Structure 1
Amino acid sequence: MSLVTKPGTRYRSAVDQTEIIVVKPAKGPIDLRCGGHPVVAIGTEAPTGLTLDPAFSAGTPLGKRFADTDTGLELLCTKGGTGSLSIGEVILAQKDAKPLPSSD
């Protein structure tokens, strides 16, 4: 399932409590997943009978950003969960915080 992302769009996992918001959209349609299954827009029904894929169960911590340099996508986790975010089979990397300038 391919999604066209827009800034401010909110998605949730179909297999756990993870919720995310798009900070920077992808350059084109992507296969955004959480826990190994496609995410769904908040306010829509999730498919039933799905379970967390153990290969995508490292978790998504609240307040952390995730980015993909190839697509330009950047997401913010607004509700943490046990599933890992991915584009297809590629797990998204957690974005590092920018170091603050030295006050020496």
Structure 2
Amino acid sequence: MASPAPTPRPGDQLASAADSTRVIVIRAPQQAAGPIECGGDPMIPAVRAPAPAPGPAGAAAGALIGKRYVDAADTLELLCTASGSGPLAYAGEPLTVKAPKALPASD
């Protein structure tokens, strides 16, 4: 198994070691508080990741493609580029889907 990714930087592409989840780091804190995890396992750089195995049919998706995920402090933001069954977490805390910005009224 490859070692976990070092401190994340914007533009880094990470992959789950356990399923097909892949993300791109959009925003990262200056000092990492812990590893970025998927399904409880640290994510690894996508270039070192093995080919993703297809998930079981009918499995609930943990990370959804095209969604942005943020931590509670809003210091880390990830864009999911390939969905998978494992939930995303940072420093042991689950990441949540970022709410879309409201568009201004056109009245």
Deviation at 1:14, TM superposition (A): 0.8
Answer yes or no: is 1:32 the counterpart of 2:36: yes
> What are the Cα deviations for residues 41-70 of structure 1, in whole angstroms up to 9, with x where unaligned?
011146xxxxxxxxxx76100000011143
Residues 10 and 42, structure 1, Cα contact 8 Å, conserved in 2: yes
What is the TM-score when the length of structure 2 is the normalising length? Answer: 0.78
SS class of match (1:43): helix
TM-score, normalised with respect to structure 1: 0.80
Partner of 1:41: 45
**14-23 or 87-96: bigger deviation:** 87-96
User: In structure 2, do the counterparts of structure 1 residues 13 and 5 end up closer, same or farther at CA, with 3 Å as the change threshold?
Assistant: same
Measured after TM superposition, the shift of residue 26 of structure 1 is: 2.0
Identity across matched positions, percent? 36
Any conservation in 1 of the 2:14–2:46 contact (CA below 8 Å)?
A: yes
Deviations 1:52-102 (A, max 9, x none): xxxxx7610000001114361111001111111001321101100001111
Q: CA 1:26/1:71 → structure 2, altered by over 3 Å: closer, same or farther? A: farther
Give yes or no for the alignment of 1:95 onto 2:91: no
Partner amino acid, structure 1, of 2:94: I
- Do structure 1's residue 67 and structure 2's residue 80 form an aligned pair? no
Shift of the 19–101 alpha-carbon distance from structure 1 to 2, 3 Å rule, reads same
SS in 1 for 2:69: strand
Number of residue equivalences: 94
2-side partners of 1:43 and 1:80: how far apart? 17
Could you tell me which runs of 5 or more consecutive residues in structure 2 were left unpaired when the two chains were aligned.
Answer: 51-59
